């Protein structure tokens, strides 16, 4: 068979990921971001490493040394998760790291809750769902994990969620944002129904939609739609809402790229 000479390959394609690779290793980059507090540092490091048992041990040590369990959620767990999301946004670490760190963070939150009667205050509440008739939920699972990793409480309705169940959940939970994912043209049509029924009930909240078949043009056709091209857009949209951008038009201005 034919083959290319080594020197000719570069003229045909560029492995930009190789060409642009940063010198610093992920562990080195993480080390620069860890908090200096000797009690918080082990928690953050264990979060980064995705080691649930180590997270719990480090939290126990911090509590034994006088730290309040409820404060450790924001001061240690979320700081550690902040390191992870920073490295992820910078392209230094990748999604499996984030997923395992999120699992470890959730284990840490559960542990902190079990050590106190105080209730932690999330940044906000988000309801997530996969469109009615659609069973493709890995995208929604990633969205939910990234939202939790960024400090949001997530009400995960699962997949193939009937429109009326979505409406009922929004009425009950009063979230700051609703997300929907769909992989097929015929299932994403349910998003327009969700939009219409929310408006009928006088509910106006940002409805962040994404998934394989969903595109910005479609999402822009209904009043509450905000298109998320990547799963990582979901926590950014949520952060924008918390920061004060609640108007749909303004959110579209910020997040619609095409």
Which of residues 184 and 250 has its CB atom nearest to another protein in the complex?
184
Is 224:198 a contact under the CB 8 Å cutoff?
A: yes
∠ CA 84-88-89, rounded to 5°: 120
Contact 230, 181 (CB under 8 A): no
- Residue closer to another protein by CB (options 62, 208) is 208
| Euclidean distance between CA atoms 70 and 93, whole angstroms | 28
Candidate residues 66, 96, 202, 244; the one interacting with another protein per rule CB under 8 A = 96
- Which residue, 203, 202, 205, is CA-closest to 248? 205
Tokens representing 137 are 């939920």
Number of residues that bind another protein (CB under 8 A): 45
Any contact of residue 51 with another protein (CB under 8 A)? no
**Binding residue for another protein, selected from 185, 201, 247, 254, defined by CB under 8 A:** 185
Encoded one letter per residue, x for contact with another protein by CB under 8 A and - for no contact, window 199-238 reads -------------xx----x--------------------
Residue 26 parent element (H or E): helix 26-33
Nearer to another protein, 55 or 62 (CB): 55
236 token code pair:
């950014």
Q: Which of 67, 68, 46 is nearest to 56 (CA)?
A: 46
Segment interacting with another protein, rule: CB under 8 A, options 17-25, 76-84, 202-210, 236-244: 17-25
Shortest separation between residue 26's beta carbon and another protein, angstroms:
8
Strand 225-227 and strand 125-130: the pairing is: unpaired
Q: Which of 53, 74, 95, 253 binds another protein (CB under 8 A)?
A: 95
Binding mask 102-141 for another protein (x = CB under 8 A): -x-----------------------------xxx-xx--x
Residues 6 or more apart whose Cβ sits within 8 Å of residue 244: none
Q: Which two tokens stand for residue 196?
A: 């219409």
Interface residue list for another protein (CB under 8 A) = 1-4, 6, 9, 12-13, 15-18, 20-21, 25, 88, 91, 93-96, 99-100, 103, 133-135, 137-138, 141-142, 145, 158-160, 184-189, 192, 212-213, 218
């Amino acid at each position: 068979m034919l083959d290319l000479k080594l020197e000719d390959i570069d003229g045909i394609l560029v492995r930009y990921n190789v060409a642009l690779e940063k010198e610093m290793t992920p562990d080195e980059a993480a080390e620069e971001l860890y908090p200096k507090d000797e009690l918080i540092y082990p928690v953050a490091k264990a979060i980064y490493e995705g080691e649930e048992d180590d997270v719990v041990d480090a939290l126990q040590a911090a509590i034994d040394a006088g730290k309040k369990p409820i404060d450790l959620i924001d001061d240690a767990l979320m700081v550690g998760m902040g390191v992870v999301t920073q490295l992820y946004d910078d392209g230094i670490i990748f999604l499996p790291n984030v997923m395992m760190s999120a699992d470890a963070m959730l284990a840490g939150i559960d542990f902190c809750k079990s050590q106190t009667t105080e209730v932690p205050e999330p940044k906000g509440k988000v309801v997530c769902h996969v469109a009615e008739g659609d069973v493709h939920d890995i995208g929604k699972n990633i969205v939910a994990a990234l939202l939790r990793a960024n400090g949001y409480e997530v009400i995960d309705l699962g997949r193939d969620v009937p429109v009326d169940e979505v409406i009922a959940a929004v009425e009950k939970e009063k979230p700051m944002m609703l997300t929907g994912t769909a992989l097929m043209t015929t299932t994403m049509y349910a998003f327009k129904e969700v939009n219409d029924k929310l408006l009928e009930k006088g509910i106006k909240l940002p409805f962040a939609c994404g998934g394989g078949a969903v595109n910005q043009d479609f999402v822009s056709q209904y009043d509450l739609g905000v298109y998320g091209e990547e799963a990582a857009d979901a926590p950014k949209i949520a952060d924008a809402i918390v920061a004060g951008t609640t108007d749909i038009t303004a959110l579209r201005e910020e997040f619609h790229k095409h």
